[in-house]
Amino acid sequence: MPGIAEAFKRVLVGRPMRTDRLATATLPKRLALPVFSSDAWSSVAYAPDEILLTLSLAGLAALTVSPWVGLAVVVVMMTVVASYRQTVRAYPSGGGDYEVVSTNLGPRAGVTVASALLVDYALTVAVSISSAVQYLAATVPATAEHTTAIAVGTVVVLAVINLRGVRESGRTMAVPGYLFMGAIGLLACVGFVKEATGTLEPAVSASLEVAPEAGFEQGLVGAAGALLVLRAFSSGSAALTGVEAINNGVPAFKKPRARNAAATLLLLGLIGSAMLLSMLHLARATDVRFVQDPATQLLRDGEPVGATYRQDPVVGQVAATVFDGVPVLYVLVTVATGIVLVLAANTAFNGFPSLGSVLARDGYLPRQLHTRGDRLAYSNGIIALAVAAGLLVFAFDAQVTFLIQLYIVGVFTSFTLSQLGMVRHWTGLLRVESRPEKRARMRRSRAINGFGCLLTGLVLVVVLVTKLTHGAWLTVVLLAVLYAGMFGVRRHYDRVAQRLVVPDLARAKALPARVHGIVLVSRLHQPSMRAIAYARATRPSTLEAVTVDVDSQDTERLRQAWDEAELPVPLTVLASPYREVTRPVVDYVRSVRRASPRDLVVVFVPEYVVSRWWEQLLHNQSALRLKGRLLFTPGVVMASVPWQLDQVDELDKPADPL
Amino acid sequence: MPGIAEAFKRVLVGRPMRTDRLATATLPKRLALPVFSSDAWSSVAYAPDEILLTLSLAGLAALTVSPWVGLAVVVVMMTVVASYRQTVRAYPSGGGDYEVVSTNLGPRAGVTVASALLVDYALTVAVSISSAVQYLAATVPATAEHTTAIAVGTVVVLAVINLRGVRESGRTMAVPGYLFMGAIGLLACVGFVKEATGTLEPAVSASLEVAPEAGFEQGLVGAAGALLVLRAFSSGSAALTGVEAINNGVPAFKKPRARNAAATLLLLGLIGSAMLLSMLHLARATDVRFVQDPATQLLRDGEPVGATYRQDPVVGQVAATVFDGVPVLYVLVTVATGIVLVLAANTAFNGFPSLGSVLARDGYLPRQLHTRGDRLAYSNGIIALAVAAGLLVFAFDAQVTFLIQLYIVGVFTSFTLSQLGMVRHWTGLLRVESRPEKRARMRRSRAINGFGCLLTGLVLVVVLVTKLTHGAWLTVVLLAVLYAGMFGVRRHYDRVAQRLVVPDLARAKALPARVHGIVLVSRLHQPSMRAIAYARATRPSTLEAVTVDVDSQDTERLRQAWDEAELPVPLTVLASPYREVTRPVVDYVRSVRRASPRDLVVVFVPEYVVSRWWEQLLHNQSALRLKGRLLFTPGVVMASVPWQLDQVDELDKPADPL
């Protein structure tokens, strides 16, 4: 069984890698850009959709503000990029927001950010994969009925790829990242040229009317209208997710790490903004319709279009319109978008495990997340992320719009706290720095981070106001649970560490007065004989054999065999009116310990080992249960004396017969 | 966690019982009759249905033969009863058919019978419970949509009742057994009186026509007609299931066991036959219609009645007709029938575990089935039966008609082999017996068993011919799998037993030349210090500490602490390029064993024990994995040195400081 499991694992993740291969597993800028930017870029695939569907609640006229909403998102994005460029230079170690915040604002703020980031990584995977299967359905309509299953399957495949190791993912993921950039770039250029020459046709959905929701018959007016615009902005802010990925991944860059990362970050922001704005512009120019519930909200000749209408994502609709008559280019855009969404999910598979490892190092998460697996990836973190994201996709049926509601709270929580931490950081440095040109640079950085903090804080308030009742409350609950859980884990580790310290070396080095050996026997067979011989070989101060009287015939038979064998070890029989084995032995060992509390008791347990797992099922597991119970009895050592059924032991032919 | 599980188990099954309460857990005849007969009697609830639905395939006219089919079933039943009365006198030890057959026909035939019985016990539970939920649906129509769930739930409840112990089941189950007898008796009497006085009305379903199947438009004619009658007879033979229950349960009778059991058996047969015949007669007299698929086979005014028609079981329809206008008596019959069906399932919960225990004693099933649980019931057998029956109910959607197809093959396989075994038994006794009156009695017994063997063998052939393609093939496959599995288990136990024998006592008593102690350390904390002290206290010939270099910084820290502590034990550092702990240690231990194959190696593993199960999750389980691997290495003893985080150990204050 272990052999099969091991072989299966090898096929899946590849052969183990030596620790010294770790140093080489970093990425040059040209690979890092697509790997780390795909998260931010890929939001072009769903951010326009979210803006349009929110504004559409107020009817068609409301769509005129969509480019302005997009512009607001881009302003926030470039602010955040500028802020993080300061951060990667100041903290090139890859702890990212968590490191910045816990260093400057203390562990409580640090763990808050960490909770927010962990939740967001899981949501990044869930949202990106769910969006990707929508693009798949736009290209291959037959898959539309199995979106949830395909999405969960993709999460699993991504996890396996990442379990195979950092380096391979970098190379595998770079090409399609550039492909997406090229596809969207081509789409934008052709679209703009057509628009300028007046040959841009309206989209297929342009002929449909949009039924405004109750209360919005007059369009975007009054407080409700303003709130709707803010909600559209909140949803559009999903475009900012993933900007922090570089920040957490600096150690994966080639040296000079900080400078390369900052340059990559700027490119990420510029390219992302350009893509978002051009898609929003072309969607306006081609009159694309995109609503939350097309069956009832879209009207054809005054009637709802009904459940048979299939609504493609905005980028898909724009591509279909611009590349009308050239289906190969349409397919290029949707396929590239789908793949880059998968890449975005992959970014989280880089970020989550390394953050988990840092948190485990600091004692906030189980230690298992800290160690690298066979292939130098943080295997346990990868598996944890895959499980969390899989559950989210499953629970929300791979519906992007629902998942988006949970998404943005965490992102802006960490943005705001991170920038606040950076402001503190610069203030602290300014206190000790005297050189004027350095001080000027620090002041400039602090101003950038301060502005970033204010703006992201404002967005966080907007997001909370507009999203809390739409599902963001669930994220807030999740954050609180994670926060409490992490401090619980930390408290446990602290308590253990404190108890493990050796308070008095001389006392700890002292030996127990005497050793009392107890050999458990049920029958006088080879394993028992070996256990007795081994127990005698360790020369305890006193040695006795103990059996439990479960079946009186068996016990009598053992007693006779014992007398015949003339073993120089006394046999004690324990009564067991309830036919148990464990309790009488544990009680007896406790009574021995009570009688002479300064003696060490060593319990020798003969075990016979069969070679196949199913054979193990055919034997009572009393030895295992007994050892489990004795673990909780102080001052007792349990010695398993295994006897391998199918192997020959040299010790069976000893040189020194008695 | 173990505390909660333990408390839950206590609430469910009650407090443990002492072994010496076992002797009192037997049943007097008046309790044994309802407990052991319910299986046979309860088939009155479904055997008429199966006869009618099979004959109905040839249209209404075919129903005239139904009492004759019933009579044939009764003849077989009384033959089997007469045969088994010989068996319980000859074999009063409760091994039943299995004991009879394996003693007289050898282990292969014995295991064949055992397979057949095990499968039939599971099917008894599945069929009875499925039929019971049909009666429930006849009384409470709202339950008709949840039959499978209710059936599976009932199996679970039965298992729990049986886990609570033998004695309680006997008393709890006796009252409703008599209630059923009374209810059916009253129904028969009132029905016969009404018939004699000419006041018996036709049943509600009497107005419906039955559409014959293709090929049977002319009724029961030709070979097809004969085969159909034989099929009806096969299905009706389900009434014989459970006759062997007494045979397996003789030890549960009060003394004189054999005589009480034989008397009970005769009563069982007479009462059961009377009930079956009267129900079949009244069903004819009231023109009850019962078909396999009422929606299409039943016609009202020439049109199928459709899916909304609800078809009640035959006994239910008879009761509704005879007790027309007295609904309380109708409810009495259906409720009593439902309960006795549950009792029938309970019979299997007596038979399966004790047969399982006998088979386990003989080495054909895992040993865990042999031991009695806390409450003196064979807990593991009860659980195994519940799982098997639950799966059958679930797989066949609680449909009696499908389950019946699987049922009867096994029953008649064991009947036939059992009677054959009895013939051998008497022949053997006749060879050594000389007293004429004894010989005459033996000859008479042999004649009875011989006739029983012939008749049941004939029925088995009929069943195989008429049922094999209708689902009985699945039973045959199951039997083959069980048969092969049981011999596989036996082979394993034989091999183990052979290897466990001590071939040379003097050699087995010899001690290994020297003991080489190895203490595993990762850090120099309390658990390691204790492990070192304990290891030294056992005074091995040589002792060394071993650590695995997973993280070079940690290793360096350990080395320094080691030097500072001035421990009189050398520290060996093992390289681990793949960041593993287990493999380097196992390899090292193997190399030590190779270097001096006659030495005993004792590996001391420090373990710290936390008190809550979730805390355990927060620690790497490397000790557990390591011990698992070392189990397979010959000549190695693993000594766990636990250190309880939350308990004080007297040994921490030793008398003998170094």
Q: Provide the ipTM.
A: 0.72
Say yes or no: B23 contacts chain A, CB-CB below 8 A: no
Nearest Cα residue in chain A from B527: A500
Higher-pLDDT residue of B121 and A242 is: B121
Which residues in chain A have their CB less than 8 angstroms from residue B510's CB? Answer: 533, 654, 656-658
What are the mean pLDDT values of chain A's consecutive 10-residue runs (658 residues total)? 61 64 68 84 92 90 90 95 91 80 93 93 94 89 87 92 67 81 95 94 91 82 87 90 80 85 92 95 94 89 86 93 91 91 85 88 87 73 93 90 88 93 94 92 94 93 87 91 94 86 81 88 88 88 91 90 90 86 89 87 86 68 78 85 72 46
pLDDT at B214 > cutoff 90: no
From the candidates B651, B652, B653, B658, which should be mutated to test the interface with A, based on the most A CB atoms within 10 A? B651
pLDDT at B481 > cutoff 80: yes
* Domain assignment present for B617: yes
State both tokens at B344.
């029938």
The region of weakest confidence among B60-69, B267-276, B576-585 is B576-585
Q: Which domain holds residue A103?
A: 2-18+30-391+402-493
> Domain ends where: B399, B421, B441?
B399
pLDDT bucket at B466, cuts 50 / 70 / 90: confident
Which residues in chain B have their CB less than 8 angstroms from residue A502's CB? Answer: 524-526, 529
**Predicted local confidence at residue A655, as pLDDT:** 43
pLDDT at B61 > cutoff 70: yes
State both tokens at B179.
């209630």
Which residues in chain A have their CB less than 8 angstroms from residue B527's CB? Answer: 500
Which residues in chain B have their CB less than 8 angstroms from residue A496's CB? Answer: 608, 610, 645
* Domain assignment present for A396: no
Chain B, 605 to 644: residues with Cβ < 8 Å from chain A are 607-611, 615, 617-620, 627, 630-642, 644
**Predicted local confidence at residue B295, as pLDDT:** 87
Q: Are residues A263 and A367 in the same domain?
A: yes
Say yes or no: A647 contacts chain B, CB-CB below 8 A: yes
**Predicted local confidence at residue A651, as pLDDT:** 53
**pLDDT digits 0-9 by tens, B4-16:** 666 666 666 666 6
- Say if CB A516 and CB A596 are below 8 A apart: yes
Chain A, 209 to 268: residues with Cβ < 8 Å from chain B are none
Q: Are residues A600 and A640 in the same domain?
A: yes
* Domain assignment present for A172: yes
* Domain assignment present for B56: yes
**Predicted local confidence at residue A2, as pLDDT:** 47
* Domain assignment present for A144: yes
Q: How far is B544 from chain A (nearest CA, A)?
A: 15
State both tokens at A629.
């119970």
Q: Are residues A136 and A233 in the same domain?
A: yes
Chain A, 495 to 514: residues with Cβ < 8 Å from chain B are 495-496, 499-502, 505-513
Count Cβ atoms below 10 Å from residue B619 Cβ, excluding itself: 18
Q: Flag if A529 and B634 touch (Cβ within 8 Å).
A: no
CATH code of A548's domain: 3.40.50
The minimal CB distance from A634 to the residues B18, B631, B647 is found for: B647
Say yes or no: A658 contacts chain B, CB-CB below 8 A: yes
**Predicted local confidence at residue B79, as pLDDT:** 94
Helix (H/G/I), strand (E/B), else coil: B82: helix
> Domain ends where: A431, A463, A493?
A493
Say yes or no: B578 contacts chain A, CB-CB below 8 A: yes
- Say if CB B73 and CB B236 are below 8 A apart: yes
Say yes or no: A206 contacts chain B, CB-CB below 8 A: no
Chain A, 347 to 366: residues with Cβ < 8 Å from chain B are 366
From the candidates B578, B586, B589, B625, which should be mutated to test the interface with A, based on the most A CB atoms within 10 A? B578
Question: How big is the A-B interface in CB pairs under 8 Å?
Answer: 262
Q: Are residues A515 and A479 in the same domain?
A: no
Quick one: which H or E segment has residue B299? strand B298-300
Which residues in chain A have their CB less than 8 angstroms from residue B655's CB? Answer: 513, 598
* Domain assignment present for A498: no
Q: Are residues A542 and A420 in the same domain?
A: no
State both tokens at B68.
């004759």
Mean pLDDT calculated for residue range B84-91: 89
Q: What is the distance between the alpha carbons of residues B603 and B595, in angstroms, rounded to a whole number?
A: 16
The region of weakest confidence among A292-306, B19-33, B80-94, B408-422 is B19-33
CATH code of A351's domain: 1.20.1740.10
The minimal CB distance from A527 to the residues B19, B500, B579 is found for: B500
List the one residue out of A180, A179, A125, A194 whose CA is nearest residue A157: A125
pLDDT bucket at B169, cuts 50 / 70 / 90: low
Residue B237 backbone phi and psi in degrees, to 5: -65, -10
Nearest Cα residue in chain B from A640: B638
Tally of domains within chain A: 2
Say yes or no: A530 contacts chain B, CB-CB below 8 A: yes
- Say if CB A123 and CB A388 are below 8 A apart: no
The minimal CB distance from A515 to the residues B16, B510, B537 is found for: B537
Q: Flag if B649 and A634 touch (Cβ within 8 Å).
A: yes
**Predicted local confidence at residue A21, as pLDDT:** 55
Which residues in chain B have their CB less than 8 angstroms from residue A610's CB? Answer: 492, 496
Residues β-bridged to residue B515:
B600
**Predicted local confidence at residue B654, as pLDDT:** 45
Say yes or no: A577 contacts chain B, CB-CB below 8 A: yes
**Predicted local confidence at residue A1, as pLDDT:** 40
Quick one: which H or E segment has residue B350? helix B327-361
Nearest Cα residue in chain A from B490: A618
Say yes or no: B487 contacts chain A, CB-CB below 8 A: no
The minimal CB distance from A367 to the residues B16, B539, B619 is found for: B619
* Domain assignment present for A397: no
pLDDT bucket at B272, cuts 50 / 70 / 90: very high
State both tokens at B132.
């019971």
Higher-pLDDT residue of A144 and B156 is: B156
Q: Are residues A441 and A557 in the same domain?
A: no
Q: In what order do the strands lie in the sheet with A209-210?
A: A209-210, A298-300, A303-304
Nearest Cα residue in chain B from A508: B529
Q: Are residues B642 and B509 in the same domain?
A: yes
**Predicted local confidence at residue A333, as pLDDT:** 93
Exposure string for A410-444, b = 16+ CB within 10 A, e = fewer: bbbbbbbbbbbbbbbbbeeeeeeeeeeeeeeebee
**Predicted local confidence at residue A94, as pLDDT:** 67
Higher-pLDDT residue of B177 and A657 is: B177
List the one residue out of B180, B258, B219, B190 whose CA is nearest residue B61: B219
Q: Where would I find the H helices in A91-238?
A: 96-105, 107-139, 147-163, 166-196, 222-236
Q: Are residues B509 and B636 in the same domain?
A: yes
Q: Are residues A298 and A326 in the same domain?
A: yes
**pLDDT digits 0-9 by tens, B506-554:** 888 888 878 899 999 988 888 889 899 888 888 889 999 999 988 888 8
Q: How far is A485 from chain B (nearest CA, A)?
A: 12
Percent of chain B residues topping a pLDDT of 70: 90
**Predicted local confidence at residue A617, as pLDDT:** 67
| Whether the bond into A327 is cis, omega within 30 of 0 | no
CATH code of B7's domain: 1.20.1740
Count of alpha carbons within 13 angstroms of residue B125, beta-carbon side:
34
The region of weakest confidence among B260-269, B562-571, B608-617 is B608-617
Which residues in chain A have their CB less than 8 angstroms from residue B532's CB? Answer: 509
Q: Flag if B19 and A627 touch (Cβ within 8 Å).
A: no
Q: Flag if A499 and B577 touch (Cβ within 8 Å).
A: no
Q: Are residues A246 and A373 in the same domain?
A: yes
From the candidates A376, A576, A637, which should be mutated to test the interface with B, based on the most B CB atoms within 10 A? A637
Mean pLDDT calculated for residue range B155-163: 88
**Predicted local confidence at residue B656, as pLDDT:** 43
Which residues in chain A have their CB less than 8 angstroms from residue B1's CB? Answer: none
* Domain assignment present for A262: yes
Which residues in chain B have their CB less than 8 angstroms from residue A372's CB? Answer: 579
Q: Flag if B511 and A608 touch (Cβ within 8 Å).
A: no
Exposure string for B119-157, b = 16+ CB within 10 A, e = fewer: bbbbbbbbbbbbbbbbbbbbbeeeeeeebbebbbebbee
Q: Are residues A8 and A85 in the same domain?
A: yes
pLDDT bucket at B390, cuts 50 / 70 / 90: very high
> Domain ends where: B399, B429, B455?
B399
Mean pLDDT calculated for residue range B591-617: 82
Averaged pLDDT score across all residues of chain B: 86
**Predicted local confidence at residue A625, as pLDDT:** 79
The minimal CB distance from B513 to the residues A631, A647, A656 is found for: A656
Say yes or no: A19 contacts chain B, CB-CB below 8 A: yes
Q: Are residues A429 and A542 in the same domain?
A: no
